[in-house]
Structure 1
Amino acid sequence: MASRPSSSRARRALLAALVTASVALPVSGAARPAAVPAPAPAPLAPLDTAPPVLDARYAAGRQEIRAARDMAARHGDRRRAAALTAMAAPGRTFLMFDGRDGGRVAEVHGDLSRAGRIAVLVPGAGVDLDHYWRSRRDADALLDELGPGSAVITWLGYRTPAMLSPSSLTVGRADEAAPRLRAFVREVRSAGPTARVSLLCHSYGSVVCARAASGLDVADIVLYGSPGTGVDDSAALRTRATVWAGLGGDDWIGGVPHVSLPLPSGAVGFGTDPVSPEFGAEVFDAGDAGHSDYLRPGSVALRGIAAIVAGTAGAGRA
């Protein structure tokens, strides 16, 4: 009987969050970069890790970024133009770029043609072209931790929900993203069939990974800073991958009610906490990580996630 008041309080807290998000949406929505125009990208050649094919894909990515930069400059958005100028710099390598509607990006960190370990990072709410630098920072830190023979791909392949918006409390954006993530992972696997591929899913990105999980040919699905996945337990993901979960001691997401509240328009909230015993994931030590610093250089969380990607985390399971 003691659980009923607690469950009631969680539902009330979730409703309060939804009301707050609904009020905040006009403000946060106005700041979104989707209104900045960009050209439609050209069709891409199939991915292959042979250097001539990779080089052609990277060249196509730079061309798309420069075209979007020029259009942003003509539109008068100096911030976007500056960000795109940095993205088009020599040495940066993009498998895909689309500057429309907030941006779609797949950037390679490391040498994909020689990688025996590949990590695909799936970001959460609030990540778009104007905030993409955070994903790049995290990918570089993970690559440094993994060392030679590895590649990290930041996959911003969907329209992320704004922070503090109703769409960040439902699975709608994740359902839109899941087929694209499945297609991208299939492309990576066909290009590097012998590589060990891990899916790293941060915050709302864990909802995306959960919706895409069934049938994905990956070794690991790593959920961190997760509000939940929209399913009751890891078995419901219907994946052969090892499912891992971590929550940092300083992550505010730990205070989010882990319930799913049915409404006429669809459920709000994502249910079971992935680090709880009833979810059934392998829990890794995330130390004192805050919500945005799981891949902070030198951190416990970064070391744990790198060990999972490298396939050496078995002895350190929490």
Structure 2
Amino acid sequence: MALEIQWTKPVASWTAGQPVTIKFRPGGAAHSGGHCQFAISYDNGKTAAVVHKVMKHCFFNGPSNSNVADVLEYTFDLPADIPASSNAQFIWIWNNAIGNRELYTGIADITIANSGGSKSYTGKSAIYPNHEGYGSIPEFNGNYNTGLSLFENAPNVVVSPGDSAAPPPVPEYSSSAVESKTVAPPAESKTVTPPAESKTVAPPVGHTPTSQSSAEPTFEVTATGPPAESTVEVTATKHLTDSVYTSSAPTAAPTSSACTHGALQCISGNAGFQECVWGVWSATFACGPGTVCQQTSPDAVVCGWA
């Protein structure tokens, strides 16, 4: 995985060995729970090490058939040997227990302080089941052990900030429809809506799509130990795996009937963009408040300030 992140100002400051809290906003569809990973990256998501995970019952205290979350907050300690950096990324990944076979993610730019001088951290690699190349997890159907082996067998990965302790450079946007991902920048209120971080869609896994709530789960990133300088809200991105996602965003769509799988293109008026899903353009994903879609290459877009 690789991410295109347009903003360069971190939105939270964390300290190695101190507790951090991830708060999920109520109202999103919880899909009976599932598997959640919480990871840290120093290279915009190319490598990410898991620092916390909630398997089986993420958003719940146990097995549930509910679509309304019971648990909306997780607190855990950052590893004491996680390296310091002014340009780190926090990544949340969720595979839902019931519903369409999808992948939800959220990302936030953060800084990490560590007075111990650690240069690297080794942990389980973050994985993206139901995303191309990572294997698939079917609906749980009451068996909450479904897919656990994928996480248990994930390789160890070493993450290191390298030169990222220096002020982060202006990112270069990739033209690769497979490796680059697009995230919308935060609005001044520190609330962002990244309509689509991923430009690669995993192939169908034989599940028949069912009607679901259009509400997306969201989370807040906070530092509960010093320093606690900022809070960010990020809308989770849904990586499509079954069929063309239907969005309620009302915008005109391009009329082209053929496209390259994984490509993105701005819609007319630049209020949002579409993703090519196996030769068919999806419904429109709206850009965040105050931003417009900008075509950075024939197959890549970014939602940037107008």
Global fold match (TM > 0.5): no
Task: Judging by fraction of residues, say which structure has more strand.
Answer: 2
TM-score, normalisation: structure 2: 0.28
Could you say which structure has the greater relative contact order, defined with CA pairs below 8 angstroms and 6 or more residues apart?
2
Scaled by the length of structure 1, what TM-score is found?
0.27
